[in-house]
Structure 1
Amino acid sequence: MDRSLPRRSFGMKIAAMMIAALTKPMTARGQAVAPLKIGVLASLTGSVADVNAGEVKGLRLRMKQLVGQVAGRKIELVVEDDAGDPNTGVVKVQKLIDRDRVDVLVGPFLGHVMAAVQDYIGRKGVPTLPLVGQTPENVRHANIVVPSWNSAQLGRMMGEYAAKKLGQRNAVIVSSKYSFGTRVSEGFRAGFTAAGGKIRQEVYVPLGTADWAPFIGGLPEGTAMFSAVPGADAIKLVRTRHEFGQRDSLPLLGPISTVDGMLLPAMGEAALGTVAVTHYLDDIDIPENVRFIEDFRREYGQRPTGYYEALGYTIGLVIEAALRATRGRSEPAILLPALKAVDIPTPQGRLRFDPDKRYPYLDYYFVKVADKGGKPAYRILDVLRNVRPD
């Protein structure tokens, strides 16, 4: 009897089983598939606590929509607070990677914390998505993929826009003294001066400063003020400017973080007239954003008020897409290329990464804070589409 066909059939079955095994999460014999752990390192106390909490809400929303599971892997979030302190950040990131053995790290948020932990992250090789835009100096390692802007590029675009479109010829810089604040301000200086503008004065203020009056009193009039200031500090800055009568005499420019939607209610009329640059607005009329707004309101009983919530949600989408592409496998050598190859619709529009830069192509909106029904809101001035990351 010819037994070649049964043997061939048996061999094909074995080959199919081997291929299937290579595209499934590796597990011990007889055990359930191990959960995929996402470590979140955020600044949940301190001057940026509110905006960080909003971003974590966005991430949790996407995980809940997935019923805590992607591509056959149960998802576990392990959240730690670095309190905005670099030393605490180092301790917490070591815990997440070494003790909790997370498969993916989300965070940190503040640039000086990122600077403190990035070499450790690089040595460990864990795929990492910072919670917000970072400077190029903070993403030297190939396992760090930034789902938001290049901070220096963001500042440069604002500097060019201020000179070329707003007609500003002189400016002062008043920003927070930490990695993001100084680097985005350097970008503004470079873009502004290259376009013919002149920087008259630069002031850098420590994070958590209670009294901003000494830093902004006596600034030269007839200039614009560029400020990269986060969270509660931004509220203090904008209010103090208004008390000094600078709202109209010293027009405020900055990244959206200075006048983020979460902060506008506390700023009130003091924020009016500010021009900012952002890659997300809550009224972008695309299906993904409309659904996100509705889902966020349904989950938390309020409308998202800034780009942080949307960015947290987008990070969830990025991780989900990469895991689906790897069929749930999370080894860095497999998951990291999948993260860099992500090309998906998100609430902020299409998101795809430059695989070499490890930053995304983005649409950028230049907006002005204007009165809308007695409340501050954004009015779009200009849009730059599909901007390639530097």
Structure 2
Amino acid sequence: MSYTITLHPSGHTYPCSADTPILKAGLDTGLFMPYSCRSGVCRTCRGRVVSGEVDYGGVHPNYLSDEDKAEGLALLCCAKPLGDLVVEVNELDPQDAIKSKFMPCRVLKMEPVSDDVMIVTLGLPMNEPTLFRAGQYLDILRPDGTRRSYSIANVPSNDGVRQVELHIRRMPGGKFTEHVFTAMKLREIHRIEMPLGSFFLREDSDAPIVMLASGTGFAPIKSLLEQTLQRGTRRPITVYWGGRTRADLYMASLAESWAATHDHITFIPVLSNATDACAWTGRTGFVHQAVMEDFPDMSGVQVYACGAPIMVESARHDFTTACRLPEDAFFADAFLSEADRNGLPQA
């Protein structure tokens, strides 16, 4: 059974079968709808069902409450149609979309930058330079059919790139990250899909920018910021990077160099569990709360947040409710481990 999905306010329509998520069917049709995790956690793809009914797809109440459902909200990466639908969603310009593709890649470099973070450089096919937008991510396709998602940390090129840089954190018990840290070899071949996601800089605004990262959420922030430097963007940018200890800020010297050489960039590192060994004299506590201290009124800024789901969701909630940030000025990419996706420890 196939139903018709009508997007509001654009009026775009497309078919969607009863067993296909609304988001996937729209993307497959060539429309560009906001999305990130595709797992019902990050809420980037949230839309409002104006008419019709959906199967919500078993989304956890933490990410879609009964109150949300009563207001007509649904996470379109999980929701499936039970009939014809009209859905209100903030569509993106299809010209901003780059169709993802599958390709082989080869491990070119592995650089441990802390006890639990490895920077991995992948070589892409030489005969077909690959396009992506700063902030987007790729999926590594595993032989068992599972995927692992990692943001791309280097800057894209209008002519395409032949390498991508990934920042991979070791997850205890994580099958792929254990492989990265214990068995991965140079020239090893993997299969990937890229580019994915709608986390990229909205350049139709001149509002000041707050970039917010936790842990390896720094990877897409690095790509975004370095692209602004490449393009000569002069919008004020404040970068907040949170970690538990100093070692978690594995590229702090790079971020410090941005601030030292560009007067429109400010870098504020924040530690939540600084030890004596850190010899830390900087900001402490939760990184999103440091943002709130510095920006009590966020009505005139844009926020780009990336990292652990709890940080992203706390920032989204607190910034919009306590600091007057418009909901459509918050852009995010939540980093989900398989434990986050499954709600269970990784095997």
Structure (1 or 2) with the greater helix fraction: 1
Q: Which has the larger radius of gyration?
A: 1
Scaled by the length of structure 1, the TM-score of the pair is: 0.26
Scaled by the length of structure 2, the TM-score of the pair is: 0.28
Structure (1 or 2) with the greater strand fraction: 2
